[in-house]
Amino acid sequence: MKAKDKGFALVTVLIIFVLLLAIGGIMLNIVRNTTKISYSTVKYETAMEAASSGIEVGISRILIALSQGNDPDGNISLKLGNYKVTVSIQKILTARAKGTEVSFAGGYQGAGKGSGQYFIYFLITSKARGKSGESFVIEANYKSIIKSY
């Protein structure tokens, strides 16, 4: 063994060790970032489901109010798990049915029927906010047909 070759094995092992350490650090960083992304995705998907539930509650409130002859406009506050959900219901249009809708209703319900049909359109806005600040907003239009004979 020559004098200039002394310590070559040690330097080689140290270089390989540093490379393996760098590769391990990079892989650890990738796993950590992927976990963060997965956690954020779950939080926002859960917020979306909470907001979607708010829309369902809004539709239910509209149907109950209309069946009792009441006006369903207003706000509803819910607590769904870790989410605070605020549902807003606004009546945006009431229109009398005309044209083919009336003709179809008259044909279906019998002569002289169907002329008292009204459409009521509602805007339902559902906002879900979690404890960590994640939030999701869904807006939906709902059309109700009121038949008066």
CATH number at residue 47: 2.20.25.110
The rounded distance, in Å, linking the Cα atoms of 119 and 130 is: 36
- Give the tens place of pLDDT for each residue, 26-68: 999 999 988 888 888 888 888 999 999 999 999 999 999 988 8
The rounded distance, in Å, linking the Cα atoms of 20 and 16 is: 6
Lowest average pLDDT, out of 5-9, 20-24, 63-67, 136-140, goes to: 5-9
Average pLDDT in the chain: 83
Q: How many residues does the chain have?
A: 149
pTM of the model: 0.66
With a cut of 70, say whether residue 99 has pLDDT above it. Answer: no
The boundaries of the domain holding residue 121 are 3-147
When divided into structural domains, the chain yields a total of: 1
What pLDDT does 2 receive? 65
pLDDT confidence band for 110 (50 / 70 / 90): very low
With a cut of 80, say whether residue 25 has pLDDT above it. Answer: yes
What pLDDT does 74 receive? 86
